[in-house]
Structure 1
């Protein structure tokens, strides 16, 4: 890409931020709180999966990897959003915008692809339980995680390179909080059906194809579960997939609405709200969804918190809180199903 030839456009300005100082401060603290909860919840899951030997299984390996991606995914845009909320100049260079978009789209695509790998894990566990230890080895899991990241960034690099090779108009304002595909495409001059189709192809590869694979996996899972004679067995099998299905609907619902549609349907206010939902809402809800009904994960997180509390207070007299945390998350009270 020849950045010098992008017309006279050298900087972009975000127009979605509130102009009122009081609203800016309120927005800053609100986003900061949500971001802190996102980092805390996902870091606890990563630490629990790494430190607890009983969680060293493919299912939890994927869950820890998903949380690691969520941490990086939000870090690609949220710190910049917080900085822009308080400063008067809310601009970004073309190169900075492209870089932000590469990481945001790349990590988001990796997230979608990893959810497809997790669906395959559930398919093997339910439809081929005897072969599960032989098929879903940790080596295969690591390869699927790495492949998700590589494919996600390859799609992102091609998409961003294509977008920023197009001629930009003289308008500098982005009706958004960060550099995302739909609002940036609004600045492209002479955008035609061919340009929109190119963006749609990339979005289809990153969103529609993984979702199709997830749908096929759960179709086989549903068929296998319906053949189970015991009602308790069917309920237990479905419960192992409920958390994953909830996350899939949250992630793919927002992404499909934003990217799998023609560019003229873009509406600034509505799309800004939806983008915040899948940028902040989904990474915030994922740790809750995967832990609230998962006794093993709650027990592991309780042990991580207890160790952290103990290490901070071992020189003082505040160990009661540690014993409470450990007591509330005793691992032997856990069941092994992920629901």
Structure 2
């Protein structure tokens, strides 16, 4: 209903199945009962006088109107002398929002999983929201920065959060939508506080990295490789023209991030990762925005899906097997680039396998 009394009062009435059928038909026909007809079904209905009131009717055993389709137990009525107008009534229960997805989605299994998200920027914010929406039970978010005005065109949080630490703003944002996710924020730097990352990585089922810059990504790759934890890296490259997802699983035959880049170079393909150090731009006339916020959110959602698919596949869900480990997504493709960034059509996704580790790699070498 789009209106209510400023001093509302309401009543509940227990009724028979006949009124449930009447309500169903009246709602479909956008019609109402006269007050006298409503009172015939509900003898205890009080007279609204010159005003009106909201009544909720409850039918203990509503009838089935089609195979497997039972009428609702509750109906809301706006009651006045002019008549009783029925409306559909949603009933809130103490069951969580995500629990309603079961049994079609493995909510209970994901509820017991813990994901570490490093980077709470534009991609990280979207990844955090998507991970919560998938039903991940515990989410640890790492980022040392505050949200600034130039972040807002790309970030999932609104301008109301400007000045807050990104991890705190994201925790509040997720709490309003997905209260079932336990979110913790850590204001630490991936490089300066690498020692503080180690216990968080050890507790995680999978790590998602959305930070900018070559150096922090290398550090996180090294830590995850040593800890034996799967890592999903997400970014946009070439001024936002391409998105990239790299999944580095903790197998001896799978190389770290540096091995992946080295393999691209050795095969004559293209490595655009160094452009990450240029950032996305701050929206000034000297350094314009180059990455579209919604494209960044898309990459965050894909990173979350990759992480969740990795978890579920490990738990035996064969419908969550990915085509390969690494993917390049054409967002605003540019002609003339080498593989794997040679997609010519928007939204084409090129999958390719992870490269093996190099024998002389310090990160991949057995301890």
* Fold shared per TM-score above 0.5: no
TM-score by length of 2: 0.24
TM-score by length of 1: 0.25
Question: Which structure has the bigger radius of gyration?
Answer: 2
Judging by fraction of residues, say which structure has more helix: 1
